[in-house]
Amino acid sequence: MIPPTGPATFVLVHGAWGGGWVWRRVADRLRAEGHRVFAPTLTGLGARSHLCSAAVNLTTHVMDVANLVRWEDLDGFVLCGHSYGGAVITGVAERIAAIVYLDAFIPANGQAMVDIAPRRPAPGTTTPPPAGALFRVDERDRAWVDAKSTPQPNGTFTERLAVTGAYQRIAKRVFIRASGYDAPHFRRYYEACKATPGWATYEIAAGHMVMLDAPDELTQILRSSL
Q: What percent of the chain has pLDDT over 70?
A: 98
Whether the pLDDT of residue 123 is over 90: the answer is yes
Domain span at 95:
9-224
Does residue 35 carry a pLDDT above 60?
yes
Alpha helices in 92-214 (DSSP H): 113-116, 139-148, 155-158, 184-194, 210-213
Instruction: Give the integer Cα–Cα distance in Å for 11 and 74.
Output: 9
* Averaged pLDDT, 206-217: 98
d(CA 75, CA 40): 17
In the predicted model, what is the mean pLDDT of residues 104-114?
96
- Report pLDDT digits (tens) over 147-201: 999 999 999 999 999 988 889 999 999 999 999 999 999 999 999 999 999 999 9
Residue 152 · residue 14 · CB < 8 Å: no
pLDDT for 5 equals: 56
- Residues 6 or more apart whose CB falls under 8 angstroms from that of 197 comprise none
Residue 4 belongs to some domain of the structure:
no
HSE-up of residue 76 (Cα within 13 Å, Cβ side): 10
Output the pLDDT for position 3: 43
Mean pLDDT value across residues 118-123: 93
Beta-carbon count within 10 A of 38 CB: 19
Question: pLDDT value at position 95?
Answer: 78
In a domain, 2, yes or no: no
The pLDDT value recorded for residue 173 is 97
Known catalytic residue at 53: no
pLDDT for 148: 98
The pLDDT of residue 93 is 81
Residue 171 sits in a domain of what CATH number? 3.40.50.1820
Whether the Cβ atoms of residue 194 and residue 212 lie closer than 8 Å to each other = no
pTM above 0.75, yes or no: yes
On whether residue 83 sits in a domain, the answer given is: yes
- Stronger pLDDT, 4 or 94, i.e. the higher one: 94
Q: Is residue 79 part of a domain?
A: yes
Question: CA quadruple 127, 14, 28, 64: dihedral positive or negative?
Answer: negative
Return mean pLDDT, the chain: 95
Percent of the chain with pLDDT over 90: 92
Q: Are 116 and 108 in contact (CB under 8 A)?
A: no
Query: Does a structural domain hold residue 152?
Result: yes
Residue 6 reports pLDDT greater than 70: yes
Report the number of distinct structural domains present in the chain: 1
The answer to whether residue 127 is domain-embedded is yes
Euclidean distance between CA atoms 94 and 166, whole angstroms: 7
- Mean pLDDT computed over 84-111: 94
32 within domain boundaries? yes
Catalytic-role residue among 49, 53, 83, 224: 83
Q: Is the pLDDT of residue 144 over 50?
A: yes
* Helices 215-224 and 24-32, axial angle in degrees (round to 10): 50
Give the span between the Cα atoms of 150 and 17, in whole angstroms.
5
Phi, psi of 5 (to 5 degrees): -130, 135
Asked if 160 and 111 count as a contact pair (C-beta separation under 8 A), the reply is yes
How many CA atoms does the CB half-sphere of 186 hold within 13 Å? 26
Distances (CA, A) of 53 to 39, 62, 83, 152: 22, 16, 22, 9
| pLDDT value at 15 more than 50 | yes
Evaluate whether residue 1 is within a structural domain: no
